[in-house]
Amino acid sequence: MEAVSDTLQSGEWMPRCLGDLDGIAEKTRDPGLDESMPMFTDQVYVERRKYFSDIAKRYKYGEPLPRVEYTDDEIKTWGAVYRKTTQLFPTHVCRQYNEMFTLMVKEGIISEDNIPQLEDVSDFLKARTGFTLRPVPGMLSSRAFLNVLAFRVFFCAQYVRHGAHSTYAPEPDVCHDILGHMPTLADPAFADFTYNIGIASLGATDESIEKLVRIYWYTAEFGLCKEAGNLKAYGAGLISSSEELMYCLTNKPEHQPLDADKMAMKPFPITTIQPMYFVAESIEDMQTRVREYTSRVPKPA
């Protein structure tokens, strides 16, 4: 696996089949979190995170997705996140997301009382847009994360944020991935947008990867759009955080018109609430502009 790690960093290697994603799954990175946070000092939580990490590292392509028996505390945290965020959806979140979220609730995929199992969500997505899920032990490198999207695969967390972080989590967890990303990945146009970013990342230079991940960050993670004259969120990082979902639509942060070239050049903070957001004229406008940008990413020889 050391050879894979070296080439992943240099940009000379890329996955060529679904089986190659097994190697990528082990290449996580440190998100640079404050080690005094409860998630590091709570030994029970630390052990639980190791349990989820081990499950993800053992998983191999073609196996059934592992089902998890969540603890009462984990279900309680999920329920708290669910209630605090979903009450904001009608007023703060875009139409496309709300349509797919409503469908997933109706189909019994998402509910307040139970944390969804990856296999159930994956089957639902596969039938709608061709996307499937697999477990992830932690935060992937930018290249690895983008590359797997080209296979219509999303690495999804199974671990739950610490109960002390129910309104804002400093790293992705199952609440972020399921509540934030899954409804948009169930939308065919948004799924194609995600896939196209993944395709552009295959064999790309390190510089291009850095630019592509910024574009993904400012759209799929923290994007805003206009809808009937109002600002709405469509980014998963916003939708899965009641604190930031309320904040992002106020006049406190900076709002800039969506510009793919500007997004590609603007660094972002990972573990704090965002100081600024890019605003698209519509979801369709965002997808068109990003598609034009990805068409200009240099292709490997």
**Residues catalogued as catalytic:** 176, 181, 221, 240
DSSP 205-268: -HHHHHHHHHHHIIIIIT-EEEETTEEEE--HHHHT-HHHHHHHTSSSSEEEE--HHHHHH---
Which tokens hold the place of 37?
């946070």
Which of 218, 247, 215 minimizes the C-alpha distance to 231? 247
Burial 159-183 (b: 16+ CB within 10 A, else e): bbbbbebbbbbbbbbbbbbbbbbbb
Burial 229-261 (b: 16+ CB within 10 A, else e): eebbbbbbbbbbbbbbbbbbbeeebeeeebebe
The position carrying tokens 């698209």 is 280
The position carrying tokens 């992830």 is 136
Do 53 and 47 meet the contact criterion of CB atoms below 8 Å apart?
A: no
Do 216 and 201 meet the contact criterion of CB atoms below 8 Å apart?
A: no
Sign of the CA dihedral with 166 first, then 142, 148, and 21 last? negative
